[in-house]
C-alpha cells in the first residue's frame, strides 16, 4: 500500500519514489515465480490528475523455477513496466464497463494486483533452461542434454511377440 496523501488532490502534483518491498505470495506462474518475500525493486512516479492518481513505474525481481522440458532449476530476472490510473473512491464508477477500474482506498493505493498482472504477463509460458533444451526421455526420464546418444531398443509389436517366441523356441543355436 502506498500513501498518496502528500499529493493531495492537486492535479499536476507528483512524487518520485524508489523502494524495495518483499514479494507477495504467488507472484508468477506454476513453473516460474518470484520467491515469496524476496526483494522487488520499485521505481515509481505518482502523479495527481483530475480523476485520481496516475502511477507509472517499473519493477524488477529475481525469478526461480524449473525448466518446462527437463525440470532442471533455473533462475532469471524480470523487469516490467506498468501504468495505471487509481480513481478516487468518491468518484462514481459503477457501470459494467468499469469493473476493472482500480480504486484508491482513502489515500492508499494497492500496487499488488497491478504488479501481479505485469509480472505474470511478462513471464514465458514455458520457461526453458536453454533455448534448445531437449527435455527428458519419455520412456525412462533420463535428461537428454546429459546423454545425447540415449536410446532404447525398439518396442516389439505385440502382434509379432508369439511369432518371435516361436522362432526362439525352434532356433537350434539356443
pLDDT digits (tens, 9 = 90+) for 100-116: 777 777 777 888 888 99
**Start-end of H helices in the chain:** 112-122, 158-170
Q: Does the structure show a pLDDT above 60 at 151?
A: yes
How high is the pLDDT of residue 96? 46
* Residue-wise pLDDT tens digits, 36-74: 999 999 999 988 888 888 889 999 999 999 998 888 999
Give the up-direction half-sphere exposure of residue 66: CA atoms within 13 A in the CB hemisphere. 8
Residues whose CB is less than 8 angstroms from the CB of residue 90 and which lie 6 or more positions away in sequence, other chains included:
none
**pLDDT value of position 94:** 55
> pLDDT averaged over the chain?
82
Residue 143 above 50 pLDDT?
A: yes
Q: What is the pLDDT of residues 153-165, one digit of tens each?
A: 777 777 777 777 7
The full set of domain ranges for the chain reads: 2-122, 134-174
Cross-strand bridge partners of residue 161: none
CA dist 36 and 95 (Å) reads 35
**Placement of cell 468518484 in the chain:** 91
The whole model's pTM is what?
A: 0.70
| Residue 98 pLDDT > 80 | no
Amino acid at each position: 500500500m502506498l500513501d498518496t496523501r502528500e499529493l493531495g488532490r492537486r492535479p499536476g502534483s507528483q512524487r518520485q519514489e524508489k523502494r524495495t518491498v518483499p514479494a507477495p505470495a504467488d507472484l508468477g506462474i506454476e513453473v516460474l515465480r518470484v520467491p515469496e518475500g524476496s526483494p522487488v525493486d520499485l521505481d515509481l512516479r505518482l502523479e495527481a490528475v483530475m480523476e485520481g492518481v496516475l502511477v507509472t513505474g517499473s519493477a524488477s525481481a529475481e525469478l526461480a523455477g524449473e525448466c518446462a522440458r527437463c525440470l532442471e532449476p533455473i533462475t532469471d530476472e524480470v523487469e516490467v513496466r506498468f501504468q495505471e490510473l487509481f480513481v478516487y473512491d468518491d468518484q462514481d464508477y459503477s457501470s459494467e464497463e468499469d469493473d476493472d477500474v482500480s480504486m484508491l482506498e482513502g489515500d492508499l493505493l494497492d500496487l499488488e494486483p497491478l504488479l501481479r498482472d505485469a509480472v505474470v504477463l511478462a513471464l514465458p509460458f514455458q520457461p526453458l533452461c536453454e533455448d534448445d533444451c531437449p527435455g527428458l526421455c519419455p520412456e525412462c526420464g533420463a535428461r537428454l542434454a546429459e546423454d545425447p546418444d540415449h536410446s532404447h531398443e525398439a518396442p516389439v509389436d505385440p502382434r509379432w511377440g508369439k511369432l518371435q517366441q516361436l522362432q526362439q523356441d525352434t532356433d537350434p543355436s539356443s
